[in-house]
């Protein structure tokens, strides 16, 4: 979705736009990507000073429930929110904490075919990544896998001189 398009889109879905709600959406749209609820709250307070953290949480949770933004959990840190709802992975910088989107291939076909067990059936695996994910092994133990989340960790270049 283009920047600035989320609010009109939400309005067209019948979402009642209050000053508080508008502030949260504006913050997200201004590029507060991968921001925690606390960070969204701090930025939203610059627009609507009296907005509470609880309200920000409620708005974020509602938008996640509507499928308009996504909530991402990357390890032990607080959940982050973003307007990019397409499938993607994340790179997290060990040094500065920057979170960067990494485009991801849709592995659902892979998960399906491998869940049925290409290895146990003796079929040649056309794409080795399937077996690297241990899907046949999980499948043989009766586990199902619906999605894969990958977090790349390292440096983002912030320390490069
Ligand atoms: Zn960094
Ligand atoms: Zn992201």
Identify the domain containing residue 113 by its residue range.
98-154
Boundary-marking domain end, from 28, 57, 82 = 82
> How far does residue 100's CA lie from ligand 2's centre (Å)?
6
Percent over 70 (pLDDT), the chain: 81
Residue 148 lies in a domain: yes
Count of domains observed in the chain:
2
> How far does residue 90's CA lie from ligand 2's centre (Å)?
6
> How far does residue 90's CA lie from ligand 1's centre (Å)?
13
Residue 87 lies in a domain: no
Q: Please report the pLDDT score of residue 109 as a whole number.
A: 59
Would you place residue 122 in the very low, low, confident or very high pLDDT band (cuts 50, 70, 90)? very low
6-20, 55-69, 135-149: least confident range: 135-149
Give strand ranges (E) for 4-87. 35-36, 70-72, 80-82
Q: Which-ligand-closest: CA of 155?
A: 1
- Whole-structure pTM over 0.85, yes or no? no
74 in the same domain as 21: yes
| Cβ–Cβ < 8 Å for 110, 127 | yes
What whole-number distance in Å separates Cα of residue 127 and Cα of residue 20? 48
Q: Which-ligand-closest: CA of 151?
A: 2
Average the pLDDT over 43-50 and give the result: 96
> How far does residue 72's CA lie from ligand 2's centre (Å)?
8
Please say if the pLDDT value at position 115 is more than 80. no
Q: Which-ligand-closest: CA of 99?
A: 2
113 in the same domain as 74: no
Boundary-marking domain end, from 58, 82, 106 = 82
102 in the same domain as 77: no
């Amino acid at each position: 979705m283009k920047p600035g398009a989320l609010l009109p889109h939400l309005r067209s879905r019948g979402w009642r736009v209050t000053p508080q709600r508008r502030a949260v959406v504006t913050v997200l749209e201004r590029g507060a990507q991968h921001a925690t609820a606390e960070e969204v709250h701090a930025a939203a307070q610059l627009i609507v000073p009296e907005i509470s953290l609880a309200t920000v949480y409620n708005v974020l949770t509602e938008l996640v429930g509507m499928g308009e933004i996504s909530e991402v959990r990357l390890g032990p840190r607080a959940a982050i929110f973003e307007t990019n709802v397409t499938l993607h992975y994340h790179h997290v910088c060990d040094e500065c904490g920057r979170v960067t989107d990494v485009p991801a291939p849709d592995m659902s076909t892979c998960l399906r075919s491998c869940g049925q067990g290409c290895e146990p059936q003796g079929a040649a695996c056309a794409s080795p990544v399937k077996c690297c994910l241990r899907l046949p092994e999980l499948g043989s133990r009766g586990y199902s896998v619906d999605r894969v989340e990958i977090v790349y960790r390292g440096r983002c270049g912030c320390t490069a001189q």
